[in-house]
Structure 1
Amino acid sequence: MRAKRCFFNAFSGLFSQFVSVALGVIIPRLVLVQLGSEANGLLSATQQALVYLDLLESGIGTAALQALYKPAAEQDRAAVSGIFNAIRREYAKVGIAYAVLVCGLSVLFPFFIKTELPFFTVLLTVLLGSMGQAVRFLFQAKYRVLLQAEGRGYVLINANLLLTVSISIGKIILLICGLSLIAVQLLCFLCGLLQTVLLTLYAKKQYSWLNRAVPPDTTATAQHRAVLVHQISGLIFQNTDVLLLSVVCGLKTTSVYSMYVMLFGMVGTAVSAINGSVSFALGQTYHTDRAHFLRLYRAFETYNMALTFALYLTADVFILPFLKLYTAGVTDISYLDPVLPHLFVCTYLLSNGRAAAQRVIEYAGHFQKTQNRSVIESVINLLISLLLVVPLGMYGVLIGTIAALLYRTNDMIFYASHKLLHAPARRTYRKFLCNGVLFVLLWFSAKALPLPLNSYPALLLSAAVFCIFSLLLFTVLGSALDCDARRVLFDIWRRTVMTVLQKANTFAAK
């Protein structure tokens, strides 16, 4: 059952990402052409500002998710009901508080950003872009945690895919027709509202066995304040750059920065979709079979690193040729910068390369024990970014991010290895170093090739071929470096093939 749900999660995640990328690259181009770079920058700044309001969630979902893994694996419905009743009560408070605060933010936001857009355009853009989250906290959030713990992430992915397609098609139509930014945001709100209703109805039917008479298990969210510290640190770390650039450098600079974030973020979402497809299986196994977990962990670390390096190498090689085609005709600011891709790649490699260690810390519930480290990471990022944003602009905030990641990634690897896994950290560093060397060699090789990059079909075909070739090389390298991971991969492949053959024989017999 776990393998089946992992497959569904991975397939749904990758398919969703493919569709999202196909539609997502169209919309910012239309916004730039139809509404200008300031409107694009406003949307990005609004999204980043609203992320801070998610702190009201106070780590409830993350803490409850870790607590749910064990009873979900053991199918203990009474324990699941107790945890569910606890988070249901907490999310009701969060939803009300969120709705009140977004109203205040909508009024204040126009005074804090550097823009020539009308006051009410900024106000309504923020308000319509944020009220959907308040509704989700009130009605949907509690079910999302339960679906994730049981490995039904593919349901959430498919629901988000439907929402993305609906919003994207609607945005394209509205922008082509020349409608305003407010109309676009209203469409997003209404589509999100419909998705919340449908997903809530599905979850109520799926979990009709939940017993609301079971006393709330408040111990399940006991660490939510420690999780909140991590979330605050993470939000400062991840979202300082856009807000800082919006205030210091203006929305046009924010638009350039956000364009790179969007494109590299699509790669990150693809990696996260695959990682998330196996997260519930790793979490449940951590609490039920530690020996098997260690084997799965090593394989996850090895092949997650191979996937991460291959995808970001492809992005680094092809992002500037793509942006040259994508921003043709946009003259209010230049989007081409030969240094930015390398800085972004450094941040994403460091961030995604620690994913395995980060998950172990979360499964172990060591939120409180590591919260000070998370705060230090944010302080490093914030201080260096503040010092360098004026003289260096986008380069400055990215250097701040890289400096913070160098500290925290190493800290996570050492903590997970020595405190939780009781294994040497040198294995992870050896993988990092070897993958990094291969990354540099392939990058220079790609730049030496006369690739046809003057049209979208030629560029996409070249990128696809290069990505497949790179992924194969990084996978072979990872398998050579880690024998245990190679055995796990072959075992999973063997069982998958046998299952497919058995089902094919059964179907043929019928």
Structure 2
Amino acid sequence: MPDKKKDISRSQYVVRNTAVTLLTQLVKNLLGFVSRTVFIWVLGKELLGINSLFTEILTVLSFAELGIGNAFVYSLYKPLARRDTDKLASLMRLYAKAYKGIGVLVGVLGLCLLPFLKLLVGDVAVDDSLLYSVFLLFVFNSAVSYFFVYKTSLIVADQQNYVVLIAQEAFHLVQVCAQVAVLLLTGDYVLFMLVNVVCTVGTNAFLAHRADKMYPFLVEKNAKPLSAEERREIANNVKSLVVYKLGSTVLGGTDSIFISAIINVVTVGFYSNYKLLVDLFTSLGSQVVSSITASVGNVNASEGAERKEAVFDGLLCASAWFFGLSAVGLMLLSSDFIRLWVGGDYMLDFASVAAIVGAFYVNNMHHACFVYRNTAGLFVYGKYIPIIASVMNIGLDIALGLWIGLPGIFLATIIARMFTYEIVDPLIIYRRVFGKSVLSYYANYLKYTAIVAAAGAACWAVLRLIPITSWLGFAAGCVAVGSVYCAAFCLLSFKTNGFGVLRGFARRVLKR
């Protein structure tokens, strides 16, 4: 492995990864809107709902990964910091075997769902052969990626996520251009999905080849097996993550399924347009978090408790800033965007939008805790919390969905998360990593939420003065919300510890 990597600081990796993340996510989401717009024009509401439903079903099937990725990536941090290629080769040998087995399992589970597919989709005017053909392509596309992804994880764990993002976005550009051409020229949904499969295989094969060039030990055949003690440690982490991953997958990946079952699949299509906006900000924030996760892992592998807590406070403040701004923007502007984009017929009511945005905020404010659970190796603690949350969520989905409709399904997610994740995970982190009381976290969480609410109220007051009847008015509204929110957030959070950490980081970057 190249020694020159030692000369690159954590701050430089964070800046490099974050800059590439922001650029590639901007391009990715612009392309996503182009693709979605053409999809709606050509294929219509029902196939849009089916496409969204199948995407969520495959997200649920990803539970077969069982948290193996997180356990292995955590195992890579220390040998990467020490440049221990022998240990890395041994870990990657085991990782490869595990992920190839997962790919096969995802494929088998997908095939097992075929007899129940019509029940999940409901009564739609779509030919059965089309439904089954497209679903099989979804399954194959998901399963085949596991045969390559373990090598990609090594690049990410080595604080070089920007390499992965650039390659993925290049292939995504080709994919969107080809899919738009297919829709406009043929209107063929199956061919549309075939393009997706080809580009997924191409992306993963290219990154696997790139990893082989970056880490020559990956292609060596003489890697030593891990010791029994090392395998036992990884197995224990995986066992804990099995339960955690299963519960979190059910909690976060079943909304469209319940909407289809309780309401109808067309409503899934309406929701999917708002979900596209929500996913834009979720994906952008998640990618930025992913780009710094390896650096946080390096901190947790080499620094003391005080420094670890300071980084955590900075992450929490950054989450409140970005996801708070995103939530306020979605709350105030998403329906205007939908109206201007695809028409007023696709808009949801205010209560539904508020519930969707609330679930978005609660889910994403947990990023700091999520990063520390994974990078500090806290896999065995609180592993049953997602199971409890998912059971609670399913019960509330049915009860509140039948009672108040679409808003109830997202309100169920908010309640389930707040009474499980947001109580237990911070408690574990503060006790096990920082060695202190968790009360300061709860106080900071409430403080930042109050700041977000106050900044949002200021944005609402200013936005009332701007008529949004065209894209120009919408652009003016976005600028107003962004400017007012950032000014209010900085003013109200300036004296918090987390904001101080962000100021310090910015000074270090500017000095370089």
In the superposition, the TM-score normalised over structure 2's length comes to: 0.91
Shift of 1:303: 2.1
RMSD: 2.0
Q: CA deviation at 1:375?
A: 1.1
2:358 & 2:251 partners in 1: Cα distance? Answer: 15
Residue of structure 2 aligned with 1:257, choices 263, 267, 271 = 271
Instruction: Find the counterpart in structure 2 of residue 216 from structure 1.
Output: 225
1:227 aligned onto 2:241: yes
Task: Determine which of 169, 172, 176 is the counterpart of 1:164.
Answer: 172
Deviation at 1:190, TM superposition (A): 1.2
- Percent identity between matched residues is 19
Superposed CA deviations along residues 29-65 of structure 1, whole A, max 9, x for unmatched, are 3222221111001011101111222222222111001
Q: Which of these residues, 414, 425, 434, is aligned with residue 447 of structure 2?
A: 434
Q: Provide the C-alpha distance between the structure 2 equivalents of 1:317 and 1:442, rounded to a whole number of angstroms.
A: 12
The answer for the alignment partner of 1:303 in structure 2 is 318
Deviation (angstroms), 1:152:
1.4
- How far apart in 2 are the matches of 1:163 and 1:409? 37
Cα contact 1:310–1:467 (8 A) shared by 2: yes
Residues 1:280 and 2:289 aligned together = no
1: CA distance, partners of 2:263 / 2:115: 22
| SS of aligned partner of 1:423 | coil
CA contact (8 A) 2:243 2:383 kept: yes
1:42 match: 50
1:247 aligned onto 2:261: yes
Q: Which moved more, 1:437-446 or 1:29-38?
A: 437-446
Partner of 1:379: 391
Contact 1:361 1:367 in 2 (8 A): yes
Moved more, 211-220 or 167-176: 211-220
2:245 & 2:214 partners in 1: Cα distance? 30
Q: 1:340 aligns with which of 352, 376, 385?
A: 352
How far apart are the structure 2 equivalents of 1:108 and 1:155?
A: 40
The match for 1:364 is 376
Q: How far apart, CA to CA, are the structure 2 residues paired with 1:52 and 1:492?
A: 37
The 8 Å contact of residues 106 and 143 in structure 2, kept in 1 or not, is answered as: yes
| 2:36 paired with 1:24 | no
Contact 1:41 1:254 in 2 (8 A): yes
Shift of 1:295: 2.1
Q: How does 1:27-426 map to 2 (within 5 A)?
A: 27-106=35-114, 108-114=116-122, 115-138=124-147, 140-210=148-218, 211-217=220-226, 218-219=231-232, 221-222=234-235, 223-290=237-304, 291-328=306-343, 331=345, 334-407=346-419, 408-426=421-439
CA distance in 1 between partners of 2:458 and 2:501 (Å): 32
Q: Residue type of the partner of 1:434? A: K
Q: Distance in 2 between matches of 1:42 and 1:118?
A: 12
Task: Kindly indicate whether the alpha-carbon contact (under 8 Å) linking 2:325 and 2:482 is maintained by their aligned counterparts in 1.
Answer: yes
> Residue 231 of structure 1 aligns to which amino acid in structure 2?
K
Task: Measure the CA separation in 1 of the matches of 2:364 and 2:329.
Answer: 15
- Following superposition, the deviation at residue 219 of structure 1 comes to 3.9
* Distance in 1 between residues matched to 2:107 and 2:99, nearest whole Å: 12
TM-aligned CA distance change 1:476 to 1:67, over 3 Å? farther
Aligned partners of 2:214, 2:239: CA distance in 1, in Å?
30
> In structure 2, what residue type is equivalent to 1:116?
A
Equivalent in 473, 478, 486 of residue 463 of structure 1: 478
Letter of the 1:121 counterpart: L
Deviation of 1:196 (Å): 1.9
Deviation at 1:104, TM superposition (A): 4.0
For residues 199-256 of structure 1, the C-alpha deviation after alignment (integer angstroms, 9 at most, x for no partner) is 1111111111345423333246312121121111011101121111222322101112
Q: Which amino acid is 1:126 matched to?
A: F
Would the aligned equivalents of 1:229 and 1:371 in 2 still touch at CA under 8 Å?
Answer: yes
AA paired with 1:463? Answer: C
SS of residue in 1 equivalent to 2:381: helix
Match of 1:502 in 2: none
Residue pair 1:106, 1:124 contacting (<8 A) in 2 also: no
Q: Structure 1 residues 445, 58: closer, same or farther in 2, change over 3 A?
A: closer
Question: What is the CA–CA distance in structure 1 between the aligned matches of 2:500 and 2:46, rounded to whole Å?
Answer: 52
Q: What secondary structure sits across from 1:417 in the alignment?
A: helix
SS of the aligned residue for 1:35 comes to helix
Quote the Cα distance in structure 2 between the aligned partners of 1:99 and 1:441: 48
Alpha-carbon separation, structure 1, partners of 2:21 and 2:335: 26
Q: How many residues are matched?
A: 493
Residue 491 of structure 1: CA displacement? 3.1
Q: What is the CA distance between 1:118 and its match in structure 2?
A: 0.8
Counterpart CA distance in 2 for 1:496 and 1:273 is 20
Aligned-partner residue type, residue 265 of structure 1: D
- Secondary structure class of the residue paired with 2:217: coil
Aligned-partner Cα distance in 2 for 1:446–1:240: 32
Q: Which moved more, 1:395-404 or 1:363-372?
A: 363-372
Question: Does the 8 A contact of 2:63 with 2:245 survive in 1?
Answer: yes
Q: Give the Cα–Cα distance (whole angstroms) in 1 for the partners of residues 108 and 424 of structure 2.
A: 38
Q: Which runs of 5+ in 2 are unaligned?
A: 1-7
Cα-to-partner distance string for 1:134-187 (whole Å, 9 max, x where unaligned): 22212x111122112101111222222123222222222222235121121111
Unaligned stretches of 5+ residues in structure 1: 500-510
Q: Distance in 2 between matches of 1:416 and 1:357?
A: 7
Q: Where in structure 1 do 4 or more consecutive aligned residues deviate above 6 Å?
A: none
Change (3 A) 1:111 1:433: closer
Give the residue type in structure 2 aligned to 1:65: V
Shift of 1:479: 3.1
CA contact (8 A) 1:324 1:336 kept: no
Equivalent of residue 507 in structure 2, options 494, 501, 505? 494
The structure-2 alpha-carbon separation of the partners of 1:446 and 1:472, relative to structure 1 and needing over 3 Å to count, comes to closer
**Distance change >3 Å, CA 36–CA 234, structure 1 → 2:** same
Query: 1:248, 1:353 → 2: CA distance?
Result: 28
Please tell me whether the aligned partners of residues 431 and 478 of structure 1 are also in contact (alpha carbons under 8 angstroms): no
* Offset at residue 487 of structure 1 (A): 4.3
